[in-house]
Amino acid sequence: MPALRNHGRLWSASDIAELKSMVAQQIELREIAAQLGRTEEAVATKLYGLYGRHTTRVSGKRQQRRRNGASFFLS
C-alpha cells in the first residue's frame, strides 16, 4: 500500500470540494482514495457525513448492500 499523504489530517475545504467533484464524475471509491491520499474507509466515512449515505460507482450498476443493519448505496 502506498504512503497516504493525508493520513490523520483533517479534511480541508479544497479536499471536500475535490471529493464532491470526483463523486459527481462517478469516479470509483478506490480511485478517489488514491487521488486524495486517504484510505477508502476515510473517504467512505466522509461521504456518509456529507450525504448521509455511501455513494460510489461500481460497475455502472446500482447495488444495495446491508452491513450491520445500515444501508449503504453504491451507484
Where are the domains positioned within the chain? 13-74
pLDDT tens column, 11-46: 999 999 999 999 999 999 999 999 999 999 999 999
CB under 8 Å to 55, separation ≥6 — which residues?
23, 47, 73, 74, 75
pTM over cut 0.85? no
Q: What is the grid cell recorded at 15?
A: 479536499
